[in-house]
Amino acid sequence: MNLHPHDTGTATGTGEGGQRAVPDTLIKLDGIKKVFLTDEVETHALSEVHFDIHRAEYVSISGPSGCGKSTLLSILGLLDTPSGGSYLLNGRQVEDISAAERARIRNKEIGFIFQAFNLIGDLNVFENVELPLTYRDGMGKGERRDRVQWALERVGMAHRLRHYPAQLSGGQQQRVAVARALVGQPSILLADEPTGNLDSKNGEAVMTLLDELHKGGATICMVTHDPRYADFAQRKIFMFDGRVVDEDTMHRLRKEEDARLFRRAETA
């Protein structure tokens, strides 16, 4: 069985003469916008977001609370649709495709890891990890079992197949959630604050696991508040107020906002 969480082959291989192959673009966003309408209030969660993610890259996204990180990840993971702009995933334009086709692509191409683990309490470890495979047409029981075993071995949880989520520590639950994200061998792993509910020891263990998966060829896009964890990524993206900005701009804008809030508090 392929030990990479995706089947791309070229992304981690070396070209002629030992040169690393030029990575292809897996994700291409151009001018992505997202406007939420609630009680006639418009929230511009994303304004003109442009960026690319290459195969086998590890990218982190950081920025202040409310700047649009989770919204962006939901769009990348086809859980939500943008209000404008263009999104190319694996060479395919994804805005205009049907809901059923989106669900199929999401199941095949995307592995999601959430802050709150989101395991199903009534299912044991094996069944939680198997679940996404049960939505795949034509995959037999034997193949599902092999894949689940493989994914759980990758995260060091193969010895807990029959445990239920409530019988595991937070760090173990997140490792099972990583196995569930990996099991379908997706093109990309999207992680939204994967260490947010963990103490620092378990947080570091999950980060080490993601790092190992990246070294094995996985493409990862991770949202994190923690600069130490952002440093695990090869490339850091910063967001502020619905836009992608460079690091210096983000620090400047944050300082300006802090000063504004401070002045407002003083005059209140």
Q: How many Cα atoms within 13 Å fall on the side-chain side of residue 215?
A: 8
Cβ-proximal residues to 106 (8 Å cutoff; 6+ apart), any chain: 77, 78, 79
Helix pair angle (170-182, 200-215), 10° resolution: 20
Judged by CB, which is closer to ligand ATP: 182, or 206?
A: 206
Query: Minimum CB separation from ligand ATP for residue 44, in Å?
Result: 8
Contact (CB, 8 A) for 44 and 240? no
The distance of closest approach from Cβ of residue 158 to ligand ATP in the complex, given in angstroms and rounded to an integer, is 32
Q: Interface with ligand ATP includes 250 (CB under 6 A)?
A: no
Considering only residues 14 to 43 of the shown chain, the ones binding ligand ATP according to CB under 6 A are 36, 38, 43
Among 65, 162, 166, 266, binds ligand ATP (CB under 6 A): 65
Of these, 5, 68, 171, 194, which contacts ligand ATP (CB under 6 A)? 68
Among residues 8, 60, 62, 70, which is the contact residue for ligand ATP, using CB under 6 A?
A: 70
For residue 162, the minimal CB distance to ligand ATP (Å) is 34
38 binds, among Mg ion, ligand ATP, none (CB under 5 to 8 A by kind): ligand ATP
Could you say whether residue 66 binds ligand ATP (CB under 6 A)?
yes
The least distance separating ligand ATP from the CB of residue 247, rounded to whole angstroms, comes to 16
The DSSP secondary-structure symbol of 167 reads G
Map 2-40 to HEC letters.
CCCCCCCCCCCCECHHHCECCCCEEEEEEEEEEEEEECC
